[in-house]
Amino acid sequence: MYAPRLAPVREGNGATVYLGCSSQSYDDEIGTGRLSLPEWFRLCAEELGLTAVELEDRHIGDPAPARLDALRDAAARFGLEIANIALMNNFGVAEERRRRDEERRTVEWMAASQACGARHLRTFAGWPEGGREARWPGMIASLRAVSTQAASSGVRLVLENHNHGGFVQTAADVEAIFREVQSPALGLLLDTGNFLDGAASIADTAGRAWHVHAKFTRVAPDGQDAAVDHHRVLALLRGAKYAGCVSVEYEGPEPGRTAVPRIVAHLRTVLRAPGAARSNE
């Protein structure tokens, strides 16, 4: 059913929070080729009433100019912002040659993100091979290198927190990396479900967020996920004066076609509630 998009409602300093959706949320169909990205754009705009999408690099495929032009034009046709290209990279590899390859690939995707008009490009710090302490200096060096290139190219990189054995599992990890990299081109992609200590680290890092993943894995009939209290999370974002996209990232056993509409309805309810983040939803 068509869900009309709403005109922005701005408060205070004029900042807004708006909802988007990651292509990961429909991986069961996009990843198998049963749903093309342009078809998914239509679904997001006309059925979910969203104004932004986020694209996994593997769903884009080869970032050839014709492919990127087609995606940019299709998103524009449906009035959608491409809020982020979610690159999968790993600066935790032990071999320096492989790490340099990851840097080169990241720089290539910077150009791709610009070509399709994306607001951000995700980067991971990575997953340390052979021990965190041993791989930390190389990871920092790679993040510095790609952030320097991003700054000179006008690209906004967003570093995602990830608790699956990676470098960025708590707020302390986030602060250590930002302190060492020292780049104006690097911000935080705050994933609401990926900190080991949940809301504690979200509270400490919300002020660094340039982009947000609203993580859902098991969706109740009312659209909530017992693993993450998004009422609390969005209140923390409000307190930090976050303005930007909150992108639904659903990774669960239920098909995205049935789970995501309930998630979007739930998040709209949360955003309209007193004390939630400023919203255009």
- pLDDT tens-digit map of 112-163: 999 999 999 999 999 999 999 999 999 999 999 999 999 999 999 999 999 8
Q: Is residue 281 part of a domain?
A: no
Domain count, the chain: 1
40 with 26: CB under 8 angstroms?
yes
Q: What is the spatial distance between Cα 74 and Cα 65, in angstroms, rounded to a whole number?
A: 14
Please give the helix or strand (H or E) that residue 22 lies within, else none. Answer: strand 17-22
Q: Is residue 12 part of a domain?
A: no
Question: Which CATH number goes with the domain that contains 110?
Answer: 3.20.20.150
Of 160, 103, 165, 174, residue with least CA distance to 132: 165
* pLDDT, tens digit (0-9, with 9 covering 90-100), for 156-206: 999 999 988 899 999 999 999 999 999 999 999 999 999 999 999 999 999
Q: What is the spatial distance between Cα 86 and Cα 195, in angstroms, rounded to a whole number?
A: 18
Q: Is residue 278 part of a domain?
A: no
Q: Is residue 11 part of a domain?
A: no
* pLDDT, tens digit (0-9, with 9 covering 90-100), for 228-241: 999 999 999 999 99
Strand 209-216 to 186-191 pairing: parallel
Q: Is residue 213 part of a domain?
A: yes
Q: Is residue 4 part of a domain?
A: no
Average pLDDT rounded to a whole number, residues 246-252? 98
Give the range of the structural domain holding residue 206, as residue numbers without chain letter: 18-272
Please report, rounded to a whole number, the percentage of residues in the chain having pLDDT higher than 70. 92
Q: Is residue 10 part of a domain?
A: no
Q: Is residue 1 part of a domain?
A: no
pTM: 0.92
Binned at pLDDT 50, 70 and 90, residue 272 comes out as confident
- Note the pLDDT of residue 276: 57
Please give the helix or strand (H or E) that residue 143 lies within, else none. Answer: helix 132-153
Strand extents, DSSP E, the chain = 17-22, 52-56, 81-86, 120-123, 157-160, 186-191, 209-216, 244-250
